[in-house]
């Protein structure tokens, strides 16, 4: 085989024709045509191999073209290598070239976006974001005045209330109210029953009411049933009427439960460093102006909100010299609350040892209370709900509608020691 190959090479050399390329002799195969010889001479003038001037992809042509190592790179290969080198050398680089930056400047100049306009646009965007944050699901968070130790308190507003309020047919009767023992009441409650050891003079306990799941569509904001003590003023020569009632409502809140109250009517008592109050004193109540609006009035109605071991207490009445109720009296009642022992109650001679299990809402001092409820974390936002029937403005002849009410709450030292100070200034809170 080697002899055959040598003979073939000698024959090719004899048949080959020599040509002059760039001052040197180059032997070309004898089957080259005149056009191929002219093309070879033209390539030799453009790319000189002895001087290492090789044409593009010359190596790719010589090597195996199917090898992936010699495949052409993609369009982003150069940018990736540049970014990697700048990152390793810890050098700053421009994301856009000068031409792109110039085009962007011309675009901004053409549209007329001056620095002042950009600042105004950024301010408007910030205002929109803040508005969405305020009206978002955390609608009450950060704006409410919380009671210490419980997710409840008051939500202050300014001016008339025009938001839609959910109401239910609370006065629908489904049957007769039943009398149950206090032991049965205690078994139904999800918290220990509290009893006020001190009440103002001449106030007599008339009844104990139990609101359970049998009351249709109510209550929906309590963890289990709710109990209410109802006292009446029985002073000598003073006939009983609704305006001289004292009510104590006890319940365990379910979710976030806040009373919606005019900001000027709120008096937080003994506020800690986190802004939570030991108690909250409220003056006035909502009345219905028309179908869509309610207004806050100062008609002598007063209420104290407090809590004990996760149980929320609403203590309400009509504060005036005639009824003997004021902030000090309500605080005295709140500080005297203690867990009720039925056996001890029987030994003290109290005749009322039963309660009335209601199947409908009973009107009283808490009528017209509006709650901001967020009972489930899946809800998009809290909703407002009316407690009891509305208070029409025309039925309150002595109601004084006022936009500013400046009666300060005086300081007070309680005997029970639970609430030792009362704010002397009206707390201003903006929603």
Closest by alpha carbon to 159, among 246, 308, 265? Answer: 265
Residue 297, by phi and psi: left (phi above 0), alpha (psi -120 to 50) or beta?
beta
Q: What is the pTM of this model?
A: 0.61
Q: Is the pLDDT of residue 271 over 70?
A: yes
Which sign, positive or negative, has the C-alpha torsion 241, 243, 245, 248?
Answer: positive
Q: Which of 108-122, 262-276, 365-379 has maximum average pLDDT?
A: 262-276
Question: Which ranges of 295-408 would DSSP assign to H, the alpha helix?
Answer: 327-335, 342-347
- 416 band by pLDDT with thresholds 50, 70 and 90: very low
* pLDDT value of residue 296: 94
Domain residue ranges of the chain, discontinuous segments joined by +: 2-70, 145-401
> Average pLDDT, stretch 109-117?
63
The mean-pLDDT minimum among 46-50, 108-112, 254-258, 424-428 falls in 424-428
- Whether the predicted pLDDT of 257 surpasses 70: yes
- Cβ atoms of 271 and 277 within 8 Å: the answer is yes
Residue 417 has pLDDT above 60, yes or no: no
Q: What is the pLDDT of residue 351?
A: 53
User: pLDDT tens across 279-332, in order?
Assistant: 999 999 999 887 778 999 999 999 999 999 999 999 999 999 888 899 999 999
pLDDT exceeding 70 applies to what percent of the chain?
65
Mean pLDDT score across all residues of the chain? 76
Give the span between the Cα atoms of 176 and 174, in whole angstroms: 7
- pLDDT interval class at 60 (50, 70, 90): low
Name the more confident of 162 and 168: 162
Of 17-21, 72-76, 339-343, 346-350, least confident by mean pLDDT is 346-350
| 33-58 mean pLDDT | 79
Q: What is the DSSP letter of 278?
A: E
| pLDDT value of residue 415 | 36
Q: With 0-12 CB in 10 A as exposed, 13-18 as middle and 19+ as buried, what is 402?
A: middle
Segment 270-278 shows an average pLDDT of: 89
Q: Are strands 152-157 and 226-233 parallel, antiparallel or unpaired?
A: unpaired
- CATH class for the domain made up of 145-401: alpha beta
Which pLDDT score, from 0 to 100, does residue 398 have? 43
Summarize the chain as % helix, strand, coil (round to 5): 25, 30, 45
Distance CA 43, CA 272 (A): 93
Residue range 113-137: average pLDDT?
A: 70
| Structure tokens that stand for 267 in this block | 């008096």
Place of tokens 């709450």: 409
Max avg pLDDT among 29-43, 205-219, 409-423? 29-43
Better-scored residue on pLDDT, 5 or 367: 367
Which one has a higher pLDDT value, 106 or 123? 123
């Amino acid at each position: 085989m080697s002899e055959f190959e040598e003979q073939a090479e000698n024959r090719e050399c004899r048949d080959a024709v020599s040509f002059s390329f760039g001052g040197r002799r180059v032997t070309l195969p004898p089957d080259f045509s005149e056009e191929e010889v002219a093309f070879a001479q033209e390539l030799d003038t453009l790319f000189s191999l002895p001087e290492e001037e090789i044409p593009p992809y010359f190596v790719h042509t010589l090597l195996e073209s199917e090898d992936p190592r010699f495949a052409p790179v993609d369009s982003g290969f150069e940018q990736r290598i540049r970014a990697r080198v700048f990152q390793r050398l810890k050098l700053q680089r421009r994301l856009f070239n000068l031409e792109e930056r110039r085009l962007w400047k011309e675009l901004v100049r053409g549209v007329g976006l001056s620095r002042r306009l950009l600042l105004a646009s950024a301010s408007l965007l910030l205002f929109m974001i803040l508005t969405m944050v305020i009206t978002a699901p955390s609608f009450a968070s950060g704006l409410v005045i919380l009671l210490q130790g419980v997710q409840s308190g008051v939500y202050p507003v300014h001016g008339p209330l025009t938001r839609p309020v959910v109401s239910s047919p609370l006065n629908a009767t489904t049957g007769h109210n039943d009398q149950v023992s206090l032991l049965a009441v205690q078994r139904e409650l999800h918290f220990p029953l509290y009893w006020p050891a001190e009440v103002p003079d001449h106030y007599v306990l008339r009844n104990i009411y139990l609101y359970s799941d049998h009351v249709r569509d109510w209550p929906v904001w309590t963890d289990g049933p709710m109990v209410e003590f109802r006292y009446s003023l029985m002073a000598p020569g003073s006939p009983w009427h609704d305006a001289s009632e004292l009510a104590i409502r006890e319940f365990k809140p379910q979710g976030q439960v806040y009373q919606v109250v005019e900001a000027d009517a709120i008096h937080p008592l003994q506020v800690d460093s986190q802004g939570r109050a030991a108690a909250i004193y409220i003056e006035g109540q909502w009345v219905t102006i028309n179908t869509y609006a309610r207004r806050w009035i100062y008609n002598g109605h007063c209420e104290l909100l407090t809590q004990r071991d996760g149980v929320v207490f609403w203590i309400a009445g009509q504060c005036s010299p005639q009824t003997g109720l004021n902030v000090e009296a309500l605080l005295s009642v709140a500080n005297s609350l203690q867990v009720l022992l039925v056996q001890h109650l029987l030994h003290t001679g109290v005749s009322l040892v039963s309660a009335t299990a209601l199947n409908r809402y009973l009107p009283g001092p808490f009528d017209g209370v509006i709650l901001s409820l967020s009972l489930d974390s899946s809800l998009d936002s809290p909703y407002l709900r009316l407690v009891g029937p509305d208070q029409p403005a025309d039925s309150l002849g002595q109601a004084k509608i006022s936009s500013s009410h400046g009666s300060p709450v005086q300081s007070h030292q309680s005997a029970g020691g639970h609430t030792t100070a009362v704010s002397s200034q009206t707390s201003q809170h903006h929603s």
